[in-house]
Amino acid sequence: MKVTQTGLSEVLLLEPRVFGDARGFFFESWNELEFERAGIHARFVQDNHSRSGRGVLRGLHYQIRQPQGKLIRVVSGEIFDVAVDIRRSSPTFGRGEGVRLNAESQKMLWIPVGFAHGFCVLSEFAEVLYKATDYYAPEHERCILWNDPELRIDWPLPGTPALSAKDAAGTRLRDAEVFQ
């Protein structure tokens, strides 16, 4: 597996070894030993699967208690995936990093605990799978406003995204409950 550092030192872009031929392809999307060699020590307890249409933006989500590390991959379509460091004690607090993930490349993004996460769909639709290190706890979920000007995230969207009511009512980072 090829591991590439992003602008946020603990957020990693992962490229598995893909074995393909005329029949199709095969790759390991999770192998505990390989991930530990890459410095990722995670115990996953939940798998999530979403399907969204072009222009949908989900996020920026996190759980203040029962925080989740996430391993993100796209099985159909393409997304722009974003992690924002929300650890007040971190030298990269408030910085976001975005990467394009698509089904063709099979690349994955590791987002550890302490980061908010969101993505927008760039293709007609996208199906996103992600493994989480803790269970979903709606009472602890928080949302940072996707277009908070202090984050300076350059979302590659032609206009205003389609948002859930929860995401449209997100909090600016300066007012959000964050990690120490």
Convert the pLDDT of each residue in 138-174 to its tens digit.
999 999 999 999 999 999 998 999 999 999 999 999 9
**Of 49, 117, 130, 140, catalytic:** 130
* pLDDT attached to residue 158: 84
Give the separation between CA 126 and CA 124, rounded to whole angstroms: 7
* pLDDT attached to residue 66: 97
Residue 50, pLDDT > 90, answer: yes
How confident is residue 81, by pLDDT bands cut at 50, 70 and 90?
very high
Amino acid at 169: A
- Contact call for residues 159 and 56 (beta carbons, < 8 A): no
- Contact call for residues 144 and 172 (beta carbons, < 8 A): yes
* pLDDT attached to residue 177: 97
- Beta carbons within 8 Å of 9's beta carbon, 6+ residues apart: 92
pTM assigned to the model: 0.95
What rounded mean pLDDT belongs to the chain?
97
* pLDDT attached to residue 9: 86
**Active site (annotated) includes residue 130:** yes
Domain locations in the chain as residue ranges: 43-175
By mean pLDDT, which of 21-30, 62-71, 163-172 is the weakest? Answer: 21-30
**Cα-based angle 38, 34, 72 (whole degrees, multiple of 5):** 75
The mean pLDDT of 27-42, rounded to a whole number, is: 94
Question: Which class is 43-175 in CATH?
Answer: mainly beta
**Active site (annotated) includes residue 140:** no
How confident is residue 68, by pLDDT bands cut at 50, 70 and 90?
very high
Residue 55, pLDDT > 90, answer: yes
**Of 41, 49, 61, 135, catalytic:** 61
